[in-house]
Amino acid sequence: MGDNESVQVDDEVVIGRRGLDELMASLAALGYEVTGPVVRDGAIVHGPLAGTGDLPVGCHDQQGPGSYRLEEGQDEALFGWAVGPASWKASFFPPRETVWSAAPQDGSGTPSIAQADDEPGTLALFGARPCEVAALDILDRVLAGGEVPDPSYVRRRTGTFIVVAECGTPASTCFCTSMGTGPAATAGFDLALCELPPGGDGTHEYVVRIGSARGAAALEVVPHRRAGAADLDARRQVLSGAETRMSRRLEVDGLRELLAENIDHPRWEETAERCLSCGNCTLVCPTCFCSDVRDVSDLSGTVERHRHWSSCFDRAHSYIHGGPVRSTTASCYRQWLTHKLSTWWDQFDTSGCVGCGRCISWCPVGIDLTEEAAAIRETSATREGRDA
Ligand code: SF4
Ligand code: SF4
């Protein structure tokens, strides 16, 4: 298979860094807005990509409960990190947006109402991790599935092209193996890259698996060679090494029932003594979708309805007549954890967690949901009853 030789779904090819640059150019020529990981303010977030020089070249992250450090300029690796604080959620479900606006019409008492109908460009997500693709699948169920899909989300999400970067460098906070969402990509991608270890000159090659016809079309013009047995073996080793190094675990067997049976467990109060109710965990989570609306008016008579992200930890979010349903930190944390790992199943037939570890790294006091779930399992009322 030489340059420009035709490729099809399920083919596995190898490209170099120049090939990645040409792939980005190919996607841009096809009309996509290419967006992916970039370094900003000492963290990996998302931004426009014009070439591989915009990626976090040589960056490696050190993460732990309540900590995140990025070491820059180490080598030629483009994907030598896990996940940063930003998730793709913000690209399709922005932190703030205008839902509609109303303005007085000249000479009539009837206002004209305009629904937000912006036509966002179609995104190509370049370098999304497998757990992040799983998170998008969950958000699709929540915001695009059901009887009343969210029009703004659907408008932004339709046609998204996904280039996955399989994960060879999990952080200590990752536990995607427990959730079945990584480190290899299994579905939901147009192309899946795996960065191989560096060659003698320090540069990397990439095994690319083709997941869709449009993935094949985008790759058609990119110089490539067919992946050989050695390339495929190298990919397997990268991924099995990542699995081996991932030491954090979440025991998911019976977890849904366990949490449902332990709403009065004393651990909720113990955790609340540390929890700041800051909501960071919900903001960085790629699947949390709570929002609130606010109507804003000015003296000209214009009214706008704004939607913004909310959180289990925002007391106003559960406010109904007379006060908030969840008025204590313990009840907010319990709502967050039990929704994510238990009642999400009732609503959407899936867990709400993909094991990305963001809520652990970005919790200012290092509260770790895997530790919380394990503590409840260890001392649950059900277990005591069973062991008696
Ligand atoms: S709950 Fe935490 S680990 Fe799970 S998806 Fe959300 S941020 Fe990631
Ligand atoms: S668990 Fe951590 S991140 Fe979440 S609200 Fe409490 S202190 Fe903030």
- One domain for residues 93 and 221: yes
Least confident of 107-121, 138-152, 166-180: 107-121
| Number of alpha helices (DSSP H) and beta strands (DSSP E) in the chain | 15, 16
Is 317 a domain residue?
yes
Query: pLDDT value at position 111?
Result: 79
Domain assignment of residue 303, given as a range? 255-387
Query: pLDDT value at position 3?
Result: 53
Cβ burial, residue 148 (10 Å; 0-12/13-18/19+): exposed
User: Which residue's CA is the nearest one to ligand 2's atom 4?
Assistant: 281
- One domain for residues 235 and 267: no
Is 88 a domain residue?
yes
Query: pLDDT value at position 321?
Result: 85
- One domain for residues 231 and 171: yes
Residue 115: pLDDT band (50, 70, 90) is confident
- One domain for residues 305 and 344: yes
Query: pLDDT value at position 316?
Result: 87
27 ligand 1 Cβ < 6 A: no
Average pLDDT of span 2-23 = 89
- One domain for residues 223 and 280: no
From residue 252, give the alpha-carbon distance in Å to each of 49, 94, 244, 256: 37, 31, 19, 8
With 60 as the cut, is the pLDDT of residue 269 above it? Answer: yes
Average pLDDT of span 269-294 = 97
Q: How does strand 33-40 pair with strand 123-128?
A: parallel
Q: What is the pLDDT of residues 199-226, one digit of tens each?
A: 988 899 999 999 999 999 999 999 999 9
Q: What percent of the chain has pLDDT over 70?
A: 96
- One domain for residues 163 and 276: no
Is 105 a domain residue?
no
User: Which residue's CA is the nearest one to ligand 1's atom 1?
Assistant: 353
Ligand nearest, relative to CA of residue 179: 1
Ligand nearest, relative to CA of residue 355: 1
Quote the ligand 1 centre to 345 CA distance (angstroms). Answer: 15
Residue that finishes a domain, picked among 190, 220, 245: 245
Is 329 a domain residue?
yes
Residue that finishes a domain, picked among 245, 276, 302: 245
Contacts with 339 (C-beta within 8 Å, 6 or more apart), sequence order: 312, 352
Query: pLDDT value at position 116?
Result: 76
Residue 74: pLDDT band (50, 70, 90) is confident
User: Which residue's CA is the nearest one to ligand 1's atom 4?
Assistant: 353
Is 42 a domain residue?
yes
Is 102 a domain residue?
no
User: Which residue's CA is the nearest one to ligand 2's atom 6?
Assistant: 275
Domain count, the chain: 2
- One domain for residues 159 and 273: no
Query: pLDDT value at position 222?
Result: 95
Query: pLDDT value at position 388?
Result: 45
Quote the ligand 1 centre to 273 CA distance (angstroms). Answer: 21
Q: What is the pLDDT of residues 133-170, one digit of tens each?
A: 999 999 999 999 989 999 999 999 999 999 999 999 99
Residue 107: pLDDT band (50, 70, 90) is low
On whether the CB atoms of residues 168 and 244 are closer than 8 A, the answer is no
Average pLDDT, the chain: 93
Average pLDDT of span 375-379 = 95
- One domain for residues 143 and 276: no
Residue to substitute in 136, 340, 358 for testing ligand 1 pocket (most ligand atoms within 8 angstroms of CB): 358
- One domain for residues 297 and 362: yes
With 80 as the cut, is the pLDDT of residue 178 above it? Answer: yes
Residue to substitute in 270, 278, 337 for testing ligand 2 pocket (most ligand atoms within 8 angstroms of CB): 278
Query: pLDDT value at position 384?
Result: 52
- Residue of higher predicted confidence among 387 and 12: 12
- One domain for residues 206 and 261: no
- One domain for residues 270 and 179: no
Query: pLDDT value at position 119?
Result: 75
- One domain for residues 174 and 53: yes
Is 319 a domain residue?
yes
Residue 4: pLDDT band (50, 70, 90) is low
Is 175 a domain residue?
yes
The pair of structure tokens assigned to 150 is: 């969210």
CA distance 65 to 36: 25
357 ligand 1 Cβ < 6 A: yes
Residue that finishes a domain, picked among 245, 271, 298: 245
Average pLDDT of span 307-312 = 96
CA distance 279 to 298: 30
Average pLDDT of span 227-236 = 98
Query: pLDDT value at position 12?
Result: 97
164 ligand 1 Cβ < 6 A: no
Residues 77-92: b if buried by 16+ CB within 10 A, e if exposed: bbbbbbbbebbbbebb
CA distance 229 to 237: 12
- Residue of higher predicted confidence among 230 and 118: 230
With 90 as the cut, is the pLDDT of residue 37 above it? Answer: yes
From residue 376, give the alpha-carbon distance in Å to each of 172, 337, 345: 22, 11, 19
With 50 as the cut, is the pLDDT of residue 386 above it? Answer: no
Quote the ligand 1 centre to 375 CA distance (angstroms). Answer: 18
Query: pLDDT value at position 1?
Result: 46
